[in-house]
Amino acid sequence: MRYSDILIMPYENNLERNSVLSASVAKDRIITKFPQVNPLPLYNSIRTLYFSYRLKICKAVLVGDVAVGKSCLVNRFCHDVFNRDYKATIGVDFEVEKFSILSIPFNLQIWDTAGQERFKCIAASYYRGSNVVIVVFDMSDISSLTGVTQWKEDACQNASDPLVFLVGTKKDLLTDTSYGTVEKEAIAIAHEINAEFWAVSSKTGENVKEFFFRVVALTFDDAIQREAESMKTRAKQIGNDFIRIERKQDLYDKKESGFSKCC
Amino acid sequence: MEVVYPGHVKLTDKEKTNICYLSFPDSNSGCMGDTQFHFRIRRCPGRRSVVQAHTDYNKDCPAALQSVVLLSKLPFVTLYNYIVSVIAPEYFDNGEPCLEAACHDIDQWPDPCPGETLNLPIMGTVVQVRLPSRSDKVLTSPQIKNPSVPTMPANNILPSVSEVDVYSAFLPVLPHIQMLWELVLIGEPLVVMANSPTICSGTVQALVSTIWPFKYCMDFRPYFTIHDSEFREYTTKTQAPPAVILGVTNPFFAKTLQHWPHVLRIGELAVSSPKTINKLKKVGTIKTLDSKPGYPDKEASGGSECNALKRYLLELTQSFMIPLERYVASLMPLQRNISPHKGPPRLKSFDTEAFLKTIEHSGPQLTSGLKGDWIALYRRFFRSGNFEGWLRFRQEEVNQKLQALHLEVLCQADLLTWIQDKQEVEIVDLILRLREKLAKINENQLPVSNDMLSRLQHHHDMIVCSLPEDLQSVLKSNHGN
């Protein structure tokens, strides 16, 4: 549904050879297609960043009510399994997924938090420094949508301007008509919290991989832009006026259109 | 003790008492605010293994003195200190769920594997550490950590799991550093008196690290209190002081341990004189090397002070170690003495007098500018647990290597030709030796490739088949048992 804006990027072999990590990246974690933005200058700046080892870590947290299926979503993506028995998460589960984006190694930390009330008090330390906030709700239980705004606010409070996603789970349990109703409400809330809405099923695997790839691609893009911003500031501090900053600016101004766009 | 996580961990009452006493100040002397340190305790049920604990206590309000203790058998002092510094404030603010979550994080840590770089999630961040490996120790060229490029971006990169900042720890006693190195090397009883558990535990840890790559093989207690269950054992006056290093804060120890030969006072102790005193009390001189050169400040220009000090200590230790290693190498049997028809050769025994003879012409004086009585230092070292521990480790290592070499020879030998003119007794003897090898391989005591294993098994089967049938059945039934 949102592949229209995905571009095929040139695949550079010399990058691959220099990469320590890409060797250990699973074949199905290689991203060669990339959404949005003017590709070539972006790619050049990625190269620069890659060679200076300046890529930042990317931290994603999953939040949402008890038993909406946060852990199931992560387990489907990371281990391609689905367990129908419910097991409450203690504290936080942690995963690292390695990707190769345009043949550049990139790691996504996934922090799958517990929905239980008793772990609320420690949540702040787990949210700290998140780049991505994934708010999860159960589409078969519309009441789990009511807490979404609060979850988003709590999580974003301790993060620095993260990308936000709203994920509705258990899509397989819904009929087409009931899905239509839920989707409408979910999109409205997604707009409110400035998030991108995704409907997935961890049981069937529908949209799970697509969702996480979207997360990774956007986060990568975001990380590059932030890095470019900070390089700009650094260049300014040194007082090097030979670097034309304006040129980059209009390139990244398009960023906003990249997400917060719903189906 | 309020809570213990994880719940299935059983501590004996004695262990609990020790932990409780060790987690709090032993005296009223100047501990203000949060204090962090580590200690070691003996594990109870006969097992002498020692547990490291890392404590962070919150002393904002004396009525609510709280402490978080992390227990581990692994000596990763730096890592655990960091972990405790992350967990403790969360616990003081948010209580038990924080410990539950932290334990759950730790449950997800990968197994420690030497030489690997691990990413360890804890309380929302990832700590990256590289575990040290045996192959890190390079004897000929002292290598001090190059800040290498991290393979994966991480929030917190700890340069080492166990290395302590020797420079800050020894800053007050730098002029005595070489003497301290000697005392640690020869396993002398040594007590560090400081006014806070943080300082005494840091100093004790730094002391035992001075003789790296030697392992300090005796007991050491970075923080020791009058309530410790080994208090009597270690402070008795009826016997000579034990070969241990203790870190203490309670001024009471000044009296209890006054018969100890070496006392290192760091910083100002409560009650005593107002001036800062850093002195090493020595009863009976054991000085063997001229300590005049001391710590060469000029060398500090090469890098940071801490690295210069580490390099200095490493060079000192290596100067001492190289002759020992060289002598051990001379004890190796010759390659041509490894025969498939005999048992594996073993390392010849270490003859201290023969070793000391080699010192005259190729001793540490070659690599170290230090003059002094090296021989006397070696003699003291031979009597220490450090020598015993080092030698046992080297012997095991060499003997294992010899076993592997012997195995290789055995695999390549044409045993079937050899047995043609041999007596049955000799052949059976060979079979039993082969079986012993196979058993050892199966117990993972020998590092062998699968190819070698199958060849060895093949040899064994062929030789058994060459024997008369009645003997074969005896051997087979015997093998079954």
Provide the residue-wise pLDDT of chain B in tens; the chain has 481 residues.
888 888 888 888 888 888 888 887 776 655 556 788 888 888 765 444 456 666 666 655 544 678 888 988 888 888 998 899 899 888 888 888 999 999 999 999 998 888 888 889 999 888 988 888 776 654 333 344 443 444 445 567 777 777 778 888 888 888 889 889 999 999 999 999 988 888 899 999 999 999 988 999 999 999 999 998 899 999 998 989 999 999 999 989 988 998 898 989 887 544 333 333 344 444 334 444 444 333 444 444 444 778 888 888 988 998 999 999 999 989 988 877 788 777 778 888 999 999 999 888 877 877 777 777 888 899 999 999 999 999 999 998 888 888 888 888 888 887 778 778 888 888 888 888 888 888 888 777 676 777 888 888 888 888 888 888 888 888 777 665 4
Pick the closest to residue B456 from B471, B436, B472, B476 (CA basis): B436
Q: Is B395 among the domain residues?
A: no
Identify whether residues B157 and B299 lie together within a single domain. no
Q: Is B401 a domain residue?
A: no
Question: B324 CB contacts (<8 Å, ≥6 apart)?
Answer: B355, B390
Same domain, B310 and B349: yes
Among B124, B149, B154, the residue with its CB nearest the CB of A128 is B124
Average pLDDT over every residue of A101-110: 83
Q: Which DSSP category does A19 fall into?
A: -
Query: Is the same domain home to B158 and B169?
Result: no
Considering the domain architecture, whether residues B63 and B180 belong to the same structural domain is answered as no
* Better-scored residue on pLDDT, B416 or A85: A85
Chain B residues in contact with chain A using a Cβ-Cβ cutoff of 8 Å: 90, 93-95, 97-98, 100-105, 108, 119, 121, 123-126, 149-155
pTM reported for the whole predicted model: 0.77
Tell whether B199 and B344 lie within a shared domain. Answer: yes
pLDDT of residue B113: 86
Distance CA B365, CA B319 (A): 8
Does B404 reside within a domain?
Answer: no
User: What's the complex ipTM?
Assistant: 0.71
Enclosing domain of residue B17: 1-107
Picking from A21, A57, A92, the nearest residue to B101 by CB comes out as: A92
The closest CB to that of B105, out of A57, A91, A121, belongs to A91
Judgement on whether residues B52 and B133 belong to the same structural domain of the protein: no
Same-domain status, B101 and B158: no
Which chain A residues touch B98 with a CB distance below 8 Å? 121-122
Count of domains forming chain B = 4
**pLDDT surpassing 60 at residue A52:** no
Residues A155, A92: contact at Cβ < 8 Å? no
CB pairs under 8 A between A and B: 70
B192 and B157 in one domain?
Answer: no
Please indicate, yes or no, whether residues B95 and B235 belong to a single structural domain of this protein: no
Contacts of B341 (CB under 8 A, 6+ apart): B413, B418, B430
Higher pLDDT, A95 or B425: A95
Tokens at residue B338, please? 């490894």
- For residues B191 and B58, state if they share a domain: no
Q: Does A122 sit within 8 Å of B97, measured CB to CB?
A: yes
- Do B82 and B157 belong to one domain? no
The residues spanned by each domain of chain A are 4-235
pLDDT at position B45 is 59
Q: What is the pLDDT of residue B162?
A: 75
Decide which of B421 and A114 is more confident.
Answer: A114
CATH code of the region A4-235: 3.40.50.300
Distance CA B223, CA B200 (A): 6
Residue in chain B nearest A126 by alpha carbon = B124
Q: Which residues of A touch B95 (CB under 8 A)?
A: 121
Local structure of residue B344 (DSSP, 8 states): P
Q: Which two tokens stand for residue A53?
A: 């080892």
Mean pLDDT of A223-233: 73
Residue closest to B155 by CA, chosen among B131, B127, B117, B116: B127
Q: Which residues of A have a CB under 8 Å from any CB of B? A: 20-21, 53, 55-57, 90-94, 96, 107, 109, 111, 114, 118-119, 121-122, 125-129
Does residue B180 lie within any of the structural domains?
Answer: yes
A57 to chain B nearest CA, in Å? 5
